[in-house]
Amino acid sequence: MKKTVIALMAAGLIFTGGLAAQAEDAPRTLTVSGTGSVTAAADTATLYVVIESRGATAAEAARDNADTAARVRNAVIAAGASDEGFSTANYTLWPEYDVKDQQTIRAYSAQNSMKVVVKDLARTGQVTDAAIAAGADRIGSVVFSLENEETCRAAAIRSAAASARKEADAIAAGLGCTITGVLSSTASTTRTAPYRALMYNGDATAETGTELTPEKQEITANVTVVYEIA
């Protein structure tokens, strides 16, 4: 019995010694966070143009909707929208039932939401008015964005990383330490919500056209770095 206890105590001493050696070998670290941001003017506008049609039959509602969509497409492209950026965002066709008799179909409704991209932002208002004049029922939203968002995101991350290093150098100098390397780092970015003009119903007959002015886009990056110090 005594031999067993002595053996266990010896093993415990060896294990404890191993932990002490490992702790001594562990690197000394300094964890610092930095923030950077980039502001840029929006260079792309995306409109969601909604066309609604109603007919006695599903075919009639769909046909009327398609005819209006064709007119709207030609009108917005002529007003300055991108031909390549034109696409269908959503399309629905459904029966309308009688309020008193849910088995009786009164009519059919079709709704087509079209995505329209405008590269020349100065023409955004003209494109909006052209869509309404050609028969669109409303503009679901207007979203301004950055085509080169990844470039701005990378610039914001670089700025945040530089900020983190500057702060780390200051802390290390104050502690009498030296930064010898980077053990790990993480980065995240956020962008300010794009400008939206929701449920716009334009007056295409007005003497002055619609003016839509985008806000500047700001991308903010946060970087956390674990430095090794000596």
Query: Rounded to whole angstroms, how far apart are CA atoms 204 and 126?
Result: 9
CA atoms within 13 A on the CB side of 152: 21
pLDDT value of position 12:
41
What's residue 7's pLDDT? 39
Task: Let me know: does 73 contact 193? Beta carbons within 8 Å.
Answer: no
Give the pLDDT of residue 217.
86
Q: What DSSP state is assigned to residue 200?
A: B
Topology at the third CATH level for domain 44-145: Alpha-Beta Plaits (3.30.70)
In 35-148, where does DSSP find H-type helix? Answer: 58-79, 124-133
CA dihedral 69, 75, 77, 79 (to 10 degrees): -150
Whether the domain at 27-42+147-195+210-230 and the domain at 44-145 fall into the same CATH topology: no
Residues 6+ apart with CB under 8 A from 180: 227, 228, 229, 230
Cα(151)–Cα(159) distance, rounded to whole angstroms? 13
CATH architecture of 27-42+147-195+210-230: 2-Layer Sandwich (3.30)
Q: For residues 71 and 130, what is the distance between their CA atoms, to the nearest angstrom?
A: 10
Per-residue pLDDT of the chain (230 residues; tens, 9 = 90+): 444 443 333 334 333 333 344 456 788 999 999 999 999 988 999 999 999 999 999 999 999 999 999 999 999 999 999 988 889 999 999 999 988 888 899 999 999 999 999 999 999 999 999 999 999 999 998 988 888 889 999 999 999 999 999 999 999 999 999 999 999 999 999 987 554 544 444 444 455 678 887 878 899 999 999 999 99
d(CA 78, CA 229): 63
Tell me what pLDDT residue 10 has.
38
Angle, CA 67 vertex, CA 132 and CA 115 arms, to 5°? 55
pLDDT at residue number 153: 94
**How confident is the model over 98-120, as pLDDT tens digits?**
888 888 999 999 999 999 999 99
Does the predicted TM-score (pTM) go above 0.95? no
Domain extent listing, the chain: 27-42+147-195+210-230, 44-145
